[in-house]
Amino acid sequence: MSKTGKEFMEKTQYRFLETSDQAMGYPQPDLEIGAGEDSKIIDLPHPERIKVESTDLRQVIEKRSSIRNYSSEAISMEELSYLLWCTQGVREVVRDVVTFRNVPSAGARHALETYILANNVEGLEKGLYRFLPIEHKLVEINTEKDIADKIKRGCLDQHFVKTSAVTFIWTAVPYRMTWRYGQRGYRYLHLDAGHTCQNLYLSAGSVGCGVCAIAAFIDEKINPALGIDGENEFVIYVATVGKK
């Protein structure tokens, strides 16, 4: 019987920590994956201009549940912008060294990237996009007709990956975290993903949407679908969103 998980927890204990790249003076990795010069950039409504009805937090928490069936109603660009802001929105960039965001992260390292599969978003072509949190914009990644099918297959063919209004796909860039924390940083990547997805559940509830988190995906299928190598960047969590 494999004990991989147990070995991971044991070998990432503090007593096994080695001197980090940060302590050795190596330059820190970029705060986000930027966009190429020829990339198509899509503006998002600014978070400060988005009006959301006041919602009782306790009620939202008590009604939180995973929802897999959605109506055919599209979500607006304003709602998408709001959800992105709540899950990875940048409140402040300090000296190009650290970002403070709307979710916690170990050492404010924020090693996650957010991709979205847009299935039914008003004013946005169907396809795969990546969020640029510092600029609060989207960069187009792939709008080929079969991209949704590829991502669906990567998620064990769970149908609601395509019937959602939008599917969030979070990837981890591990060196952003291990630069400071070494191999123990891999623990923190998963904690950060949990913080982020819970913010999605709560914020989606405030705009009449349901969410279903997905941890069942095939790494060797979903990573190539996003065009990432699965080592320096890899999918860590997925969640579907749509109108109830």
- Please list, residue by residue across 206-230, b when 16 or more beta carbons sit within 10 angstroms of its beta carbon and e when fewer do: bbebbbbbbeebeeebbbebbebee
Across the chain, how many H-helices and E-strands are there? 8, 9
What averages of pLDDT result for each successive group of 10 residues across the chain (244 residues)? 89 93 96 92 90 84 92 96 97 92 96 98 98 97 97 98 98 98 97 97 93 98 98 98 96
Question: 219: which 2 tokens?
Answer: 């790494």
Q: What is the pTM of this model?
A: 0.96
Taking the C-alpha atoms of residue 90 and residue 86, their distance in angstroms, rounded to an integer, is 9
Instruction: Kindly give the interhelix angle for 147-154 and 219-226, rounded to the nearest 10 degrees.
Output: 150
- Collect contacts of 49-58 with beta carbons under 8 A, ≥24 apart: 50/78, 50/81, 50/82, 50/85, 52/82, 52/206, 52/207, 53/206, 55/205, 55/206, 57/202
Supply the pLDDT for residue 47. Answer: 83
Taking the C-alpha atoms of residue 225 and residue 156, their distance in angstroms, rounded to an integer, is 13
Question: 40: which 2 tokens?
Answer: 């198509």
Taking the C-alpha atoms of residue 174 and residue 109, their distance in angstroms, rounded to an integer, is 10
Residue 106: name the closest of 11, 185, 19, 14 by CA: 185
Instruction: Kindly give the interhelix angle for 185-205 and 77-88, rounded to the nearest 10 degrees.
Output: 140
Tell which CATH architecture fits domain 38-243. 3-Layer(aba) Sandwich (3.40)
Q: Which residues pair with 213 in a beta bridge?
A: 239
* Residue 164: burial class (beta carbons within 10 Å; 0-12, 13-18, 19+): buried
Determine the residue type at 230: G
Taking the C-alpha atoms of residue 164 and residue 242, their distance in angstroms, rounded to an integer, is 5
Give SS3 for 170. Answer: strand
Q: Distances from the Cα of 125 to the Cαs of 54, 129, 136, 142, 144, in angstroms?
A: 30, 10, 18, 10, 10
